[in-house]
């Protein structure tokens, strides 16, 4: 996904030049790719490069402000905040990536079926999606997690479900306008089954806008998951996760120990910011007219 625009076989010889042009005219996209690399490094190698054990409490060193030995200070149990923030990136990214992947798949199947066959399939699917969208989404996620049980997997499912409508509607629209297109008819005439035409000929056309949606959605999924764990759903202490770390730090902010909440919060913001920038950048590459 990250190197979508770079690795895609160029449809026109100018595609690469177009990417280069967009990157040059909007250096923020380049920054976004660099930040993404930083996040990936933290997620992949976090536990290996963390200077301290993120779960080892050290009572005498509790609540120390940031210093050379503890860059981000220590929390109320004397755990190193920097190590915890670093290690947490893997869990936070894993939750949001798996949630977005799930809603990508569910949304693609539902949207493609609705757009291709129309009729009852379409009406039923659209009604279902409308119903999901009728809820304030974060509230629906709260309800789902509380009904299914308070676990990390259920946070993933809830986040996936509330994002399905965005993907399904996108795919439905993209598939619908190409259902009767020449290349689709040709594929059908040469004896391909419906699902084959749909999956191999029509659906790939929906991928570029889907990638933009994925990127914008990833940031939102991180926020959503962190919000859920902030109110005590999903991830539980002592697990290192950004939302729960902010929640733990919240109790100390009124007495001035800001570092416990600020650093995980900043990491969270950085991650969301990265994905949003990336999404905007990808959109400029995919469809410059949509730029706002």
Partner 1 sequence: MAGRPKTILSRIAQALPVVVGVVIVTFLLTRALPGDPAVYFAGPSADQNSIAEVRAALGLDKPLPEQFILYVGQLLHGDLGQSISTGQPVAVELARRLPASLELTLLALLLSCSVAVPLGVLAATRPGSWVDHLCRVLVTAGVSLPTFFTGLALIYLFYYLLGLAPTPIGRLDFLYLEPERVTGFFLIDAALAGDWETWLGALRQIILPAITLGLFTLAPISRITRASMLQALSSDYVRTARAAGLTGRTVVYRYAFQNALLPVLTTLGMVFSFSLGANVLVEKVFAWPGIGSYAVDALVVSDYAAVQGFVLAMALLFVALNLAIDIAYTLVDPRIGFEKR
Q: Which positions touch partner 1 (CB under 8 A)?
A: 127-128, 130-132, 134-140, 142-144, 146-149, 219, 223, 226-227, 230-233, 243, 246-247, 249-250, 253-256, 258, 261-262, 265, 268-269, 272-273, 276-277, 280, 292
How far is residue 255 from each of residues 75, 231, 251, measured CA to CA in Å?
13, 21, 8
> Is the CB of residue 117 less than 8 Å from the CB of residue 172?
no
Would you say 202 or 261 has its CB closer to partner 1? 261
Q: Identify whether the C-beta of residue 173 lies closer than 8 Å to the C-beta of residue 166.
A: no
Judged by CB, which is closer to partner 1: 75, or 280? 280
Nearest distance from residue 196's CB to partner 1, in Å? 31
Question: Which lies closer to partner 1 via its Cβ, residue 105 or residue 231?
Answer: 231
Q: How far is CA 9 from the centre of its chain?
A: 25
Q: Which is nearer to partner 1, 190 or 292 (CB)?
A: 292
Tokens read off for 291 = 């730029």
Q: How far is the CB of 275 from partner 1 (least distance, A)?
A: 9
Residue whose CB is less far from partner 1, 64 or 187: 64
- Least distance between partner 1 and beta carbon 253 (Å): 5
**Closest among 9, 106, 93, 86 to 46, alpha carbons compared:** 86
Cβ at position 281, least distance to partner 1 in Å = 11
- Of 38, 124, 131, 120, the C-alpha closest to 85 is 38
Spatial neighbors of 152 by CB under 8 A, at least 6 apart, are 95, 234, 235
As measured in angstroms, the least distance from the Cβ of 123 to partner 1 is 11
Taking the C-alpha atoms of residue 244 and residue 267, their distance in angstroms, rounded to an integer, is 13
């Amino acid at each position: 996904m990250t190197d979508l625009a770079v690795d895609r076989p160029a449809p026109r010889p100018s595609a690469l030049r177009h990417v280069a042009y967009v990157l040059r005219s909007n250096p923020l996209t380049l920054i976004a790719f660099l930040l993404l690399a930083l996040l990936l490094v933290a997620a992949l190698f976090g536990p290996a490069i963390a200077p301290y054990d993120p779960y080892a409490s050290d009572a005498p060193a509790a609540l120390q402000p940031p210093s050379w030995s503890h860059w981000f200070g220590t929390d109320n149990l004397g755990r190193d905040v920097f190590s915890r923030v670093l290690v947490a990136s893997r869990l936070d990214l894993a939750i949001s990536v798996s949630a977005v992947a799930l809603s990508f798949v569910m949304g693609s199947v539902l949207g493609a079926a609705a757009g291709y066959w129309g009729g009852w399939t379409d009406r039923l699917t659209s009604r279902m999606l409308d119903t999901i969208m009728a809820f304030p989404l974060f509230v629906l996620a709260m309800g789902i997690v509380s009904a299914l049980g308070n676990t990390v997997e259920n946070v993933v499912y809830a986040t996936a479900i509330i994002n399905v409508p965005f993907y399904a509607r996108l795919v439905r629209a993209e598939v619908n306008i190409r259902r009767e297109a020449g290349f689709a008819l040709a594929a059908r005439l040469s004896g391909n089954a419906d699902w084959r035409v749909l999956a191999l000929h029509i659906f790939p056309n929906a991928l570029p806008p889907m990638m933009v949606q994925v990127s914008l959605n990833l940031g939102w999924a991180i926020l959503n998951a962190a919000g859920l764990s902030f109110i005590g759903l999903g991830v539980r202490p002592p697990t290192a996760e950004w939302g729960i770390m902010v929640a733990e730090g919240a109790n100390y902010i009124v007495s001035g120990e800001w570092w416990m909440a600020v650093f995980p919060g900043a990491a969270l913001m950085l991650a969301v910011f990265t994905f949003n920038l990336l999404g905007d950048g990808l959109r400029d590459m995919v469809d410059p007219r949509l730029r706002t």
